[in-house]
Amino acid sequence: MSCEKLLRDYLRKRGLRLTHQRELVLSVLHELEAPATAEEIFARVRTRSQNVDISTVYRTLELFQELRLVSGFDAGDGIRRYEHLGVAAPHHHLVCQTCGKSLSVPLAELASLTAYLAETYHFTTDPGGLTLSGVCATCQKA
């Protein structure tokens, strides 16, 4: 099942509408090869439709996060970045606070962590995955 169908189904299920702007943002997200800021996504949307507003892009990204189509995280510079999940499973992010790079960790690899927190603190971690801050191998050597 494609992202478009996923989107249509998610929206219908929640009584939400499939708008031209939402289709556009999803299409742009498909083109991304790396996580992008809202501003970068907005710029690409604007090359295809002059009238879309930045606040619409922010609202759409927020919605897509709720629908697990997108994963958002702060790369350490205060600017949120968004990554297309599409039909891929959500995953955890290891985000380097120096260079901003994000490493993916499958949810299953940290299953014992989430189980421990559920058992000990009755805390259910975000099913969309966690964002863990630190420093990557490359930046540790610097």
Residues making contact with DNA (CB under 7 A): 11-12, 15-22, 37-39, 51-56, 58-60, 62, 78-80
Name which of its own copies, DNA, none residue 13 binds, using a CB cut-off of 5 to 8 Å depending on partner kind. none
Name which of DNA, its own copies, none residue 123 binds, using a CB cut-off of 5 to 8 Å depending on partner kind. its own copies
Which one, 28 or 63, has the nearer CB to its own copies?
A: 63
Close Cβ partners of 140 (under 8 Å, ≥ 6 residues apart): none
Residue 82: CB minimum distance to DNA, A:
9
Of 131, 128, 133, 72, give the one whose Cα is nearest residue 99: 133
Name which of DNA, its own copies, none residue 137 binds, using a CB cut-off of 5 to 8 Å depending on partner kind. its own copies
Name which of its own copies, DNA, none residue 11 binds, using a CB cut-off of 5 to 8 Å depending on partner kind. DNA
Which one, 24 or 85, has the nearer CB to DNA?
A: 24
Q: Amino acid identity of 130?
A: L
Task: List, edge to edge, every strand of the sheet that includes 80-84.
Answer: 36-37, 80-84, 70-74
8 Å CB contact between 88 and 96: no
How much is the CA Rg of the chain, to the nearest whole Å?
17
Locate 52 and state its tokens: 């879309």
